[in-house]
Structure 1
Amino acid sequence: MIASVSPLLTEDLFQHIWKCRLFNTTGLTTIDGVPVEVQYTGVHNHDAGPDFTAAKIKIGNTLWAGNVELHVRTSDWYRHGHQHNQQYSNVILHVVFEHDVAFYDTDHMPPCIALEQQIPKMLLSRYEDFRQASAFVPCEYSASQVPDLIWNNWKERLLIERWERKTTTLHTWLLQTKYNWEEVCYRAIAQSFGVPVNAPAFLQLAQSLPHNLLTRHRPSLLQLEALLFGQAGMLQEAFEDEYPLELQQEYNYLRHKYKLQPIPTHLWKWLRMRPASFPTLRIASLAALLHKTPHLFSKILETETITGFEQLFSVQLSAYWHEHYHLDGPLTQTYCPGKLAVHNILINTILPLFFLYGREKGLSYYQDRALDLIEQLPAEENRITQGWDDIGVCQKSALDSQALLQLKQNYCDKKRCLECAIGAKLLRQGII
């Protein structure tokens, strides 16, 4: 009677076990008793064809180099139709967990080894615990036990992975604008002014007003605000205050001159946010920044310190916004963007832009500077970073918090423990 495969084993886990040699290599033999020595498990193939390529396997007295195919059961070879597929004709070894067929045609099939008795049951049990975990992260009770060296190396890789993802859109804009870095920077910063809920509206606003058009009117803060508020669809009401009426009059002239079409007003979100996050104040801040700094991207490239960036993004809003949150709104006290807002723009916009610029220009200096700056910034505070703090994985800088955001959202939540340096370490702990 042939035992059934362990319900704890998955194909992904089996491939991970083979790739990382998480099995007892002593006394390995094929199913017909020929000694096997695994010298190199091969390169994991994620495309069509055998699971591993370029493996080196000594079978008997012969050293073979070639492809290895893995299955949970021997019968899967037949069930998948590999015996009829030429892609599998050069497989040098068939690796299975369970040998479940009474007859295996060794004359026409690759040699086969079964690892059921070679794999620690503790490893299977740990992986199943990770898969079934409903905690903050699957390894909640053991993540803090992983040495700092492993954590630090993994965090840096996670940060680069996060920047690679963030720069995908930036690169698309580069292609669209024929590598106009000032335009791309302007779009990215405008989008960042809308975080968290108005980022799409700010991006659409920026795309409706090209940077070179705003540059023509940079000397006049009134005209910049007229263009931005007008294109935002916020100057279509009947106003009483003098300043909104001036903006409206200026915009009507510029709209006709440049044949502009405002974006829909329903794109803007106002509910459940603090007044400082209202799109009106954010638009006024963007106008003030563009008014203050010509050639913004060039200036950003020249800025080398956190203090320098805080000064660069410290702006003086026009007088109307010192006492209003809304156009034609009641008098109230407002404030300008603080250090936290500048740090968020640095973390989420400027540093990924540095990373992309360095990659596109072949200048590693800018990528190194991005890494240096993010280590100087304080860690972000949000629900996810608090969750990591609660389980003993603390963050000393924004590099840590950005990396742990990437880890939680793209690995832990998707149970990609086998692809995680921390998960892989914990699975092996005490086994090898």
Structure 2
Amino acid sequence: MRLNEDFLHYIWQYRLLTSLDLYCTDGSRLEIIDPGIPNTHAGPDFSTARLRIGGQLWVGNVEIHLRASDWLQHQHQENSLYDTVILHAVYENDAEICRTNGSRIPVLLMKDLLPETMLQRYRALLEARNFFPCAAQIGQTGPSVIRNTMHTAAIQRLQQKSADLELLMTRNKYNWTETFHQLLIRNFGFKVNNVPFELLAAGLPATLLARHRNQPLQIEALLFGQAGFLEGDFKDSYPRQLQTEYAFLRKKYQLMPLDHAIWKFLRMHPQNFPVLRIAQLAGMLTGNSPAISDVLGAADLQSLIRLFAPTSVHPYWNDHFNFDKGCKAMKLKPGRKSIENLIINTVCVMMYHYGEYFCVPEFQQRAITFLKKMPAEQNAITRAYKKAGLILTSAWDSQAVLQLYKYSCLLRKCLNCDIGRDLIAVKAVN
């Protein structure tokens, strides 16, 4: 495995160089008083570092590269932001680097200053051919490290989803009802078809559907028609009825249906086909459909589960998996796991964001409590972490694992994770 800058950043930030007796390449004595603050924006890697170079105190920025020539490759020589760099720390010093005014930048050569054991341990993590880098070693990590890492990841996931929801709120001009409507329908796609469901929600505003909530056939016609599933000729009377209703409603509201080709059916069980999901959604939106006020006022998990259980689904779907396509009798209403999925990704996110927006921590805490009361999600990712030895008892835990996998493990950003850092440090001590 080729060395990467992440490791150099980690060594610099935590002062893990193997010697305190440091010299720049020009022979000047170097003392690191403060390595600076990691910079996550444009500009040098560490800001406001305090260094003593050749007896002179310097306060400024530090840039770190594998090779000194990376400075030129990244065109820092043309960017005045980098004139504030007081030290260039590199693994290989293969080029002389100057500021835009021509003055040379002191260089620290890190190649022989890296702790070898930590480097080997880090390489072992990145080269591991497991589902996630530390799958074989995670048992060496202390329970408190795992617990704290999982807690942080779960909070980050909620905060990230809350930030994404804020963008949707902005597009909807802070209409909470419409935003909840769109988020709920989007999540009916259960990842595979969430984008088509999102487009479906955008074409059928909450206020429009509310006018027809006591007329099940019209709700079904609007949803199936807008989804593009009522095009063509049908043999069965039910889809023909829907066609008639939708033709009238489409003209009345000047609707433009989606292209049915955007929906995904491949490698799915019939129970998960989008037409059946739409039938379930229609059942949920008929009559007393869940509103944001109901969600925010829910006192317990069972109330939420009852709220999201469809009151009815058209009996046509008892023995059909698509229009004009019969099948054996099957369960119509979404199961407990599907409803919990909606609560995890719709209710808890909406509740957390509401508390964050209005500065009411009680709502944020309630969202966390609901996550901790629901069982852990079951999917390929959570199963892999459980197989490695992690104990996932709740949706709070599974959400943490999904966050870790997506933003640390999948990208092999082990040094962004306390578990990864702990494993590397453990080996360094041994």
TM-score range, shorter chain: 0.7 to 0.9
In the alignment, the residues of structure 2 paired with residue 287 and residue 260 of structure 1 have an alpha-carbon distance, to the nearest angstrom, of: 18
Equivalent position of 2:389 in the other structure: 392
Equivalent position of 2:198 in the other structure: 203
Equivalent position of 2:282 in the other structure: 287
For the residue of structure 1 that corresponds to 2:135, the secondary structure is coil
Q: 1:290 to 1:39 in 2, by over 3 A?
A: same
Q: 1:364 to 1:324 in 2, by over 3 A?
A: same
In the alignment, the residues of structure 1 paired with residue 79 and residue 49 of structure 2 have an alpha-carbon distance, to the nearest angstrom, of: 20
Q: RMSD of the alignment, in Å?
A: 3.2
Within the alignment, does 1:174 sit opposite 2:135 as a pair? no
- Structure 1's unaligned 5+ residue stretches are 1-6
8 Å contact 2:290–2:308 — kept in the other structure?
A: no
- Structure 2's unaligned 5+ residue stretches are none
Within the alignment, does 1:401 sit opposite 2:398 as a pair? yes
In the alignment, the residues of structure 1 paired with residue 378 and residue 153 of structure 2 have an alpha-carbon distance, to the nearest angstrom, of: 18
In the alignment, the residues of structure 1 paired with residue 210 and residue 12 of structure 2 have an alpha-carbon distance, to the nearest angstrom, of: 59
Partner amino acid, structure 1, of 2:51: I
Equivalent position of 2:213 in the other structure: 218
Q: 1:320 to 1:31 in 2, by over 3 A?
A: closer
Equivalent position of 2:44 in the other structure: 50
Partner amino acid, structure 2, of 1:140: A
Q: 1:120 to 1:307 in 2, by over 3 A?
A: same
The farther-off stretch of 376-385 and 86-95 is 86-95
In the alignment, the residues of structure 1 paired with residue 78 and residue 309 of structure 2 have an alpha-carbon distance, to the nearest angstrom, of: 68
In the alignment, the residues of structure 2 paired with residue 318 and residue 75 of structure 1 have an alpha-carbon distance, to the nearest angstrom, of: 65
8 Å contact 1:182–1:295 — kept in the other structure?
A: no
In the alignment, the residues of structure 2 paired with residue 257 and residue 109 of structure 1 have an alpha-carbon distance, to the nearest angstrom, of: 73
How much has 1:321 moved relative to structure 2?
A: 4.1
Equivalent position of 1:412 in the other structure: 409
8 Å contact 1:29–1:35 — kept in the other structure?
A: yes
In the alignment, the residues of structure 1 paired with residue 267 and residue 50 of structure 2 have an alpha-carbon distance, to the nearest angstrom, of: 61
Equivalent position of 1:338 in the other structure: 335
Equivalent position of 1:26 in the other structure: 20
Partner amino acid, structure 1, of 2:252: K
In the alignment, the residues of structure 2 paired with residue 263 and residue 101 of structure 1 have an alpha-carbon distance, to the nearest angstrom, of: 57
How much has 1:285 moved relative to structure 2?
A: 1.7
In the alignment, the residues of structure 2 paired with residue 255 and residue 389 of structure 1 have an alpha-carbon distance, to the nearest angstrom, of: 49
1:359 is aligned, of 353, 356, 360, to 356
Q: 1:211 to 1:117 in 2, by over 3 A?
A: same
How much has 1:377 moved relative to structure 2?
A: 1.3
Within the alignment, does 1:270 sit opposite 2:269 as a pair? no
How much has 1:118 moved relative to structure 2?
A: 3.3
8 Å contact 1:324–1:334 — kept in the other structure?
A: no
8 Å contact 2:276–2:317 — kept in the other structure?
A: no
Equivalent position of 1:4 in the other structure: none
Equivalent position of 2:34 in the other structure: 40
Within the alignment, does 1:65 sit opposite 2:62 as a pair? no
Which string of whole-angstrom CA distances, capped at 9 and with x for unpartnered residues, describes residues 168-191 of structure 1?
553333222211111121112112
8 Å contact 2:279–2:314 — kept in the other structure?
A: no
In the alignment, the residues of structure 1 paired with residue 3 and residue 335 of structure 2 have an alpha-carbon distance, to the nearest angstrom, of: 52
Q: 1:132 to 1:223 in 2, by over 3 A?
A: same
In the alignment, the residues of structure 2 paired with residue 329 and residue 115 of structure 1 have an alpha-carbon distance, to the nearest angstrom, of: 68
Partner amino acid, structure 1, of 2:283: A
Equivalent position of 2:156 in the other structure: 161
How much has 1:88 moved relative to structure 2?
A: 4.7
Q: 1:73 to 1:288 in 2, by over 3 A?
A: closer
In the alignment, the residues of structure 1 paired with residue 231 and residue 95 of structure 2 have an alpha-carbon distance, to the nearest angstrom, of: 77
Question: Kindly, what percent of the aligned residue pairs are identical?
Answer: 37
Alignment of 1:62-141 (within 5 A): 63-72=57-66, 87-97=81-91, 109=104, 111-141=106-136
2:143 is aligned, of 142, 148, 158, to 148
Which string of whole-angstrom CA distances, capped at 9 and with x for unpartnered residues, describes residues 360-416 of structure 1?
333332222222211111111111111112221231211221221222233222221
The farther-off stretch of 379-388 and 349-358 is 349-358
Partner amino acid, structure 2, of 1:223: Q
How much has 1:274 moved relative to structure 2?
A: 2.6
Q: 1:51 to 1:206 in 2, by over 3 A?
A: closer
Q: Give the TM-score, by structure 2 length.
A: 0.86
Which string of whole-angstrom CA distances, capped at 9 and with x for unpartnered residues, describes residues 219-266 of structure 1?
222221222222223334545555444433332322222222322222
In the alignment, the residues of structure 2 paired with residue 192 and residue 80 of structure 1 have an alpha-carbon distance, to the nearest angstrom, of: 41
How much has 1:142 moved relative to structure 2?
A: 1.0
In the alignment, the residues of structure 2 paired with residue 334 and residue 77 of structure 1 have an alpha-carbon distance, to the nearest angstrom, of: 62
8 Å contact 2:213–2:286 — kept in the other structure?
A: yes
Which string of whole-angstrom CA distances, capped at 9 and with x for unpartnered residues, describes residues 119-154 of structure 1?
211122222223322221222221222122222222
8 Å contact 1:284–1:321 — kept in the other structure?
A: no
How much has 1:214 moved relative to structure 2?
A: 0.7
For the residue of structure 1 that corresponds to 2:428, the secondary structure is coil
Q: 1:141 to 1:223 in 2, by over 3 A?
A: same
8 Å contact 2:219–2:286 — kept in the other structure?
A: yes
Partner amino acid, structure 2, of 1:213: L
Q: 1:251 to 1:392 in 2, by over 3 A?
A: same
